[in-house]
Amino acid sequence: MAHLKRQEMPKFWPLGRKKKRFAFVPVPGPHKKKECIPLAVIVRDIFKLCETGKEAKKIIKNKEILIDGREITEEKFPVGLMDILTIKRTKENYLILPSKKSFEFRKISEKDAEYKYCKIIGKRMLKKGMQLNLHDGRNILLPKEEKDKYYVGDTLKISLKTKKINKVIPYKEGADVLIIRGKNRGIKGKIKEIILKKDLQGQRVKVEINKEDKIFKKDLVFVIPKGFG
How do residues 2-28 score in pLDDT, each as one tens digit?
555 555 556 666 655 555 545 788 899
| pTM for the model | 0.90
Q: Answer yes or no: is pLDDT of 1 > 50.
A: no
Distance CA 66, CA 113 (A): 11
Look over the chain and give the mean of its residue pLDDT values, rounded to a whole number. 90
The arithmetic mean of pLDDT across residues 187-191, rounded, is: 97
The pLDDT of residue 25: 85
- Banded model confidence at residue 75, pLDDT cuts 50, 70, 90: very high
- What values do phi and psi take at 175, rounded to 5? -75, 145
- Give the lowest-confidence range in 26-40, 57-71, 211-225: 26-40
Stretch 112-118: mean pLDDT: 98
pLDDT(33) > 80? yes
CB within 8 Å of 52: residues ≥ 6 apart: 44
Q: Answer for the pair 180, 187: CB distance below 8 angstroms, yes or no.
A: no
